[in-house]
Structure 1
């Protein structure tokens, strides 16, 4: 009898928690569906504790630009199909499909996060955190997105940042401030100079 009562109590507690989790996932999905453009200031911290700053420009579908401070000779940009890392100090360019990056959850409007993301527990009810990964491709890494419940963003959420783990378990933390949604961003923002060829423009 005691076991039965405890089982019923456990189900009673689990049901609203599960419902809340699914509701928050759907809320994040609506946020992403309503996201057209976003600009923000960011700080990026790697696993060694080194922090870089810069500005973010994001335009869905598939476009993003991390413009680092002037003293940092690197650029990360996506032009709609591929995510590109450019290191101007050594004239190196690396590219890979957006869908193979954890950032695909933000940049690909066809993704249904309720199918592959899970809500991560937190102590602050003002925040919503989800972890997204492709279980079929662990080599793509995973990303934990953190949102604040804030009426100024799509679906009442504002993206605060994320923690990304790549396939080598290297951790990168991004924090945003001065987030702005829905403003015009030119496609030229996502063009870049190719250091492998003088005067090259992509």
Structure 2
């Protein structure tokens, strides 16, 4: 059984996109505005994800998003870890050692997805590429270097929020830990219960958080 902890902590510190499809040739502010529109329109989402760290270790699972401020990474069976964002904090739960760690969402690259009021056009840039169907945007807020750098990859799709389908991202944290996340089976606008973002606290004998 491989050690999953480094890969998951890298995801929390910064979620980044190494081998996602090649990004588009820069098409100026129009595509940047389209990315902003897509992120704002993405009120709920579910998707299967595949996560790889810089050592090539891969984990899979299901992602659930609900704005504002809620996301859950439910990992594959046999991986005793969970990542949940709610209440302004990003929580990492390791059931194997009964440990819980929390960070402010604002200090995570995930804030790009979770804060609908955030205007990424002020500190994002298009990444040049060769496929006009794909839009790749690098987000790096110089006022908040603790959030690291995240590159979002979208495919043009009229049926997706804002006409762009989120395919995944590559995150690079301040310690240069790289994590690549790919999404499949994306569904938008689906009902998501608030209970989705509750979790069992391993530090307690009974009860939930």
Corresponding residue for residue 35 of structure 2: 28
Give the number of the structure whose residues are more often strand, by fraction: 1
Note if 1:123 corresponds to 2:137: no
Q: What is the CA-CA distance between 1:77 and the residue it aligns to? A: 0.6
Note if 1:54 corresponds to 2:72: no
Measured in 1, the distance between the counterparts of 2:48 and 2:67 equals 18
Residue 80 to residue 28, structure 1, CA distance change in 2 (3 Å)? farther
Q: Of the candidates 138, 141, 155, which is equivalent to residue 162 of structure 2?
A: 155
Q: What is the CA-CA distance between 1:104 and the residue it aligns to? A: 0.4
Residues 100-138 of structure 1, C-alpha deviations (whole Å, 9 max, x = no match): 101101111110011111111111111111111220222
- Between Structure 1 and Structure 2, how many residues are aligned? 185
**Are the counterparts in 1 of residues 168 and 181 from structure 2 also a CA contact under 8 Å?**
yes
Corresponding residue for residue 114 of structure 2: 107
Larger radius of gyration: 1
The unaligned stretches of length 5 or more in structure 2 are 1-24
TM-score by length of 1: 0.88
Residue 149 to residue 190, structure 1, CA distance change in 2 (3 Å)? same
Residues 45-68 of structure 1, C-alpha deviations (whole Å, 9 max, x = no match): 001100000001000110000000
**Are the counterparts in 2 of residues 56 and 65 from structure 1 also a CA contact under 8 Å?**
yes
TM-score by length of 2: 0.86
**Are the counterparts in 2 of residues 61 and 80 from structure 1 also a CA contact under 8 Å?**
no
Structure number with greater CO (CA < 8 Å, separation at least 6) is 2
Corresponding residue for residue 172 of structure 2: 165
The unaligned stretches of length 5 or more in structure 1 are 1-16
Corresponding residue for residue 190 of structure 2: 183
4+ runs deviating over 2 angstroms: none
Give the number of the structure whose residues are more often helix, by fraction: 1
